[in-house]
Amino acid sequence: MPEITFDGRKLEVPAGTNLVEAGNRAGVPVPVFCYHKDLGAIGSCRVCAVTVTQQGKSKTVMGCMTEAADGMEVTTLDPASRSLREHVIESLMVNHPHDCPICDEGGECQLQDLTIAAEHGIRQTELKKRTFPNQFLGEFIQHEMNRCITCYRCQRFYQEYAGGRDFGVTGSRQRVYFGRFEDGPFESAFSGNLVEMCPTGVFTDKLFRYKSRVWDLEIAPSVCPHCSVGCNILPGARHRMLQRVRVRENAEVNGVFLCDRGQFGHGYVMDPARPRTLRVQGDVRDWAGAVALAGGTLLETAKKHGGESVALIASPRASLEAHFALRQLADGPLAGAHVSHFDDPSREARALAAYAALQSAGADPLEQSDIAHCDVLVIAGSSLVDEAPLAALAARQCERRGGRVFVLSALERYLNDVATVIPTHPAKLAGALQSLATGAGDGALGAAAKALATAQRPGVLAGHDLVDGAALDAAAALVKQLKAAGKAVRFGAVFPGPNGHGAAALSHGATLADMLARLESGAFQAAVVVESETSSWSPRARQALEQLPLLVVLDHLPGPLVDRAKAFFPTTVTYESNGTYVNRAGRMQEFAAVRLPGRSAIEEIHDHEFRRTYQPMPTDGDAHDAWWVLEALREHAAAQPARGLVALRSALAEAVPAMQPIRALRPGDPGAYVDRTAAAPATRVTASFAADAGLQLFRIDRTLGSETLSKRSEAIRKTAGAPVALFSAADAAKLGLDGRASLEAEGARVEVAARIDASVPEGVVLVPRDVDWPIVPAQGAGVRASALQAEEVSR
Amino acid sequence: MIRELVDGFAVTWKKMFEKPVTVQYPEQMPVIPERYRGRIILTSDPSGEERCVACYLCSSSCPVDCITIQAAEREDGRRYPEAFRINFNRCIFCGLCAEACPTLALQMSQDFEMAETDGRRLIYEKDRLSVPHGGKYPDYSFWDEAGTAVTHALGYGKQDEPPSDPRSNLP
């Protein structure tokens, strides 16, 4: 380890550390524009100049390009390097427009900060500034190319780090231009990071355009609710409006990156259609009355018809506290009530199977930073960029670090250029994974088995929509075998929703399918439905739910249940509430509220009713956290005192030993893993796709447009476009597909746009979740597909 | 003691023959210096458009938090304040806002006659703050200098070269 002196401070740094990082360790920030710890050094901006004295000779070097060597004396205070830095900044400002007052980057702009730090205030040249035309880059990002200082960070991130092909650099000398080959939205799912990567204001958040200054924003540490990765975020609100979402660094979960779904999918929070007020049938108008009525009626129902006449349903988008409060509701007088922590029976079965597989394998969790450091990574049954985008970005880094990535899936649309993609029918995935374990496969499968046999740090990541119970068991067996061979193997799975892992951990077996059957047969008298969708249920079950004598609904999304409920309690969204999510690797992460629910002052400005008096609670702001509502219901239904967040969490830690680490959690922490060794053995769930001779239908997520929350955001809807069904080339040729197809499964029929994807195996049709089916077919159902002719389309 | 009395009354005697500085306001208007920090105004640029670009620097620099702004974008791309409110109940007329204003839009005027019988009347909205002239700086227009295509085509501002062709590789 080289020992150096940095501005008079002696320190040891690991070999290979460059002088910028060494400066950070010494507590001396070296100014940078082009250097970024995740993108590396290219030495293009020249602003990190420092003076190095070695063996009595000193010279000015670029900090990011110079490795620390033993005995170096580094200083940033030397007049030579200092004046060089000042001149670099002054020359960067020669062409920079004079538009800081209208630039959204202002206040968090590295160029602005360093210009002020260098005390450059007066432009000394009379030269005119070079200008560039700007491009339309879709709904997410605003382009203002005049502000560019050619640090190449955007191009390095977009092309090298994220593997995008449609954005890059053109031009020569001082006309270097960063843009797409033509106007249009970015193809990459990670384009939002350009906002964070750009050290100045070339790429700014279009959703945040001209809304606020960054220093005026109220922020709080939060967790992204849009998939099971659980990226750390910093939502920013002002005037009681959620205005933007920025990344919060968590080295293990998301590094300093976010996907577009997480960064731009927050439109549903300020949606005017969002139900914000309490609705109770009858004349009750206030919370106390509504809670007493709903809780009392629940108690009466349980007394009259028994606890088993009550259904309690939550979905993985509810917080861990809400799930636990719901489970506790089934104690006491409501004992015997049926509880499910999922709102989709097939997702419940697969999530529980994944949880059981993770537990039986007993391997270390596979977080994103672990994915990036695997030497062989096997992704089984997942189009990762659609299900867990940041995990896909990490898988790309795995390959960039020299790891080998094998994808055994019915679809892959992001890692094709870096991974060995083995198109695998979901029903045959278990067999493929078994042959990886035995090494019996040939071709690509054989190569994957061979790579695994020689790997030191292999990782296995199972997907969600395209894996069945048998495949998860096979994956667990493979992991156990690798572990027995003495390898540092890691095993992970993708879960539905931000809290799928937590919901699975609290579940007592897959119960929803049975509950829906009971619902259809009229066995229920009352139901409490927490932040759940019923769109995957059969129409009869949905109808039965709406006609229950007592239906209590807690939600923050508009939907048919809001109006049909006997009592509707508005709940807060993630950004407005305190709670915990368990991410796909089992990491519990706490989030804190950033804003009060309700109508924003900006909406009042638009409506010319901008109030002049201060009110601590905004109008239409009577939403509460779901766990709070459930605790209030419990007070009346079970005559137990309602608990606060802290008491609820300690009760959770007591009741579920695996959740013990929740006691020490604080918002903004890196999070703590669920203690899987202390967990009760999971109930095994068998949910297998039967291989079929004909076409089989699988519903999948897509990065933008299919996820429950973000699909309600206008920017996401516009960018995602209409859903497209994916066929293999062979099936498409058989059907004579021409742009559109009609699909018929289990008596339901839809017409969708159709396309060929090279990674889809024969016999599989993949349909995005946002296609509206009259009756949602089961995963792996047989489907009759036919091509729609052009004239049929026009009709 | 006699001496002190004489000295004192001598000053009084001398002042009796000097012109008084007291102005008989309101019958008589005092002369207000040009840099007086009176009622805040939002001025207009030479073309008559509002100068304010809603950059929030005034509200950020305000030590008593009396300025409330909401920015918005006009159809031509111009950033402007959708709402601009100054609460003169709170304002201490320190002038930091005018000093912070990068577009010379917010200026201090010479007007000090703002007394109201109802405090709510002292909350000024944009319509009561805006004036149709340029105040102390009649000629400056931010958008002509900024390098953003709002008052002119892209690349034809006062400081700009015509737009360069990013697809060209010519030297």
Of A325-334, A389-398, A686-695, B120-129, give the lowest mean pLDDT range: A686-695
Instruction: Say what the pLDDT of residue A567 is.
Output: 93
Q: Does the beta carbon of B48 lie under 8 angstroms from any beta carbon of chain A?
A: no
| Banded pLDDT at B20 (limits 50, 70, 90) | confident
Q: Render pLDDT for A164-190 as a digit per residue (tens, 0 to 9).
A: 999 999 988 888 999 999 999 999 999
> B123 contacts in A (CB within 8 Å)?
612
Average pLDDT, chain A: 92
CA distance A104 to chain B (A): 9
Helix (H) or strand (E) holding A565: none
Q: How far is CA A147 from CA A103, A219, A646, in A?
A: 10, 27, 48
pLDDT, mean of residues A714-734 = 94
Residue ranges of B 69-98 with Cβ closer than 8 A to chain A? 70-73, 79, 82-83, 85
- Rounded distance, CA A551 to CA A528, Å? 6
> B163 contacts in A (CB within 8 Å)?
131-133
Q: Render pLDDT for A463-518 as a digit per residue (tens, 0 to 9).
A: 999 999 999 999 999 999 999 999 999 999 999 999 999 999 999 888 999 999 99
| Banded pLDDT at A795 (limits 50, 70, 90) | very low
| Banded pLDDT at A617 (limits 50, 70, 90) | low
pLDDT, mean of residues B56-74 = 95
0.95 surpassed by complex ipTM:
no
End-to-end CA distance of chain B: 93
A441 Cβ contact list (under 8 Å, min separation 6) = A432, A435, A448, A449
Instruction: Say what the pLDDT of residue A118 is.
Output: 93
- Rounded distance, CA A105 to CA A687, Å? 50
Torsion angles phi and psi, residue B13, rounded to 5: -55, -45
Of A227-241, A249-263, A630-644, give the lowest mean pLDDT range: A630-644
Asked whether residue A790 carries a pLDDT value surpassing 60, the answer given is no
Torsion angles phi and psi, residue A668, rounded to 5: 95, -10
Q: What pTM, to 2 d.p., does this model score? A: 0.93
Of A672-681, A732-741, B92-101, give the lowest mean pLDDT range: A672-681
CA A507 from chain centre, in angstroms, equals 23
Identify whether the C-beta of residue A400 lies closer than 8 Å to the C-beta of residue A375. no
Count residue pairs from A and B with Cβ separation < 8 A. 99
Instruction: Say what the pLDDT of residue A335 is.
Output: 87
Instruction: Say what the pLDDT of residue A330 is.
Output: 87
> A609 contacts in B (CB within 8 Å)?
none
Q: Render pLDDT for A20-38 as a digit per residue (tens, 0 to 9).
A: 999 999 999 999 999 999 9
Backbone torsion region of residue A403, taken as left when φ is above 0, otherwise alpha when ψ lies between -120 and 50, otherwise beta? beta
Q: Is A130 in Cβ contact with B170 (below 8 Å)?
A: no
> B69 contacts in A (CB within 8 Å)?
none
| CB < 8 Å & 24+ apart, contacts of B46-51 | B46/B134, B46/B138, B46/B139, B46/B140, B46/B141, B47/B141, B47/B151, B48/B132, B49/B78, B50/B80, B50/B81, B50/B105, B50/B130, B51/B103, B51/B104, B51/B105, B51/B134, B51/B141, B51/B142
pLDDT, mean of residues A688-695 = 82
Instruction: Say what the pLDDT of residue A612 is.
Output: 65
Instruction: Say what the pLDDT of residue A353 is.
Output: 92
> A106 contacts in B (CB within 8 Å)?
55
Q: How far is CA B139 from CA A98, B46, B131, B156, in A?
A: 18, 6, 15, 18
Instruction: Say what the pLDDT of residue A613 is.
Output: 64
> A101 contacts in B (CB within 8 Å)?
53, 55, 57, 102-103, 142, 146
Q: Does the beta carbon of A175 lie under 8 angstroms from any beta carbon of chain B?
A: yes
Q: Does the beta carbon of A133 lie under 8 angstroms from any beta carbon of chain B?
A: yes
> A213 contacts in B (CB within 8 Å)?
55-56, 60
Identify whether the C-beta of residue A319 lies closer than 8 Å to the C-beta of residue A626. yes
Helix (H) or strand (E) holding A679: none
CA distance B161 to chain A (A): 5
CA A504 from chain centre, in angstroms, equals 18
Instruction: Say what the pLDDT of residue A10 is.
Output: 94
**A212 or A681: which carries more pLDDT confidence?**
A212
> B79 contacts in A (CB within 8 Å)?
102, 210
Asked whether residue B168 carries a pLDDT value surpassing 90, the answer given is no
Token pair 């524009």 in the structure block, residue: A33
Asked whether residue A642 carries a pLDDT value surpassing 60, the answer given is yes
Q: Is B163 in Cβ contact with A131 (below 8 Å)?
A: yes
Of the candidates A179, A215, A606, the beta carbon closest to that of B166 is on: A179
pLDDT, mean of residues A121-125 = 89
pLDDT, mean of residues A399-410 = 96
Q: Does the beta carbon of B165 lie under 8 angstroms from any beta carbon of chain A?
A: yes
Give the best residue of A95, A100, A102 to mutate against chain B (max B CB count within 10 A).
Answer: A102
Instruction: Say what the pLDDT of residue B120 is.
Output: 87
CA distance A118 to chain B (A): 20
Q: Render pLDDT for A374-398 as a digit per residue (tens, 0 to 9).
A: 999 999 999 999 999 999 999 999 9
Instruction: Say what the pLDDT of residue A643 is.
Output: 92
CA atoms within 13 A on the CB side of A268: 26
CA distance B134 to chain A (A): 19
Average pLDDT, chain B: 92
Asked whether residue A78 carries a pLDDT value surpassing 60, the answer given is yes
Instruction: Say what the pLDDT of residue A794 is.
Output: 43
Asked whether residue A621 carries a pLDDT value surpassing 80, the answer given is no
pLDDT, mean of residues A649-671 = 92
- Rounded distance, CA B4 to CA A712, Å? 88
pLDDT, mean of residues A411-426 = 94
Q: Does the beta carbon of B54 lie under 8 angstroms from any beta carbon of chain A?
A: yes
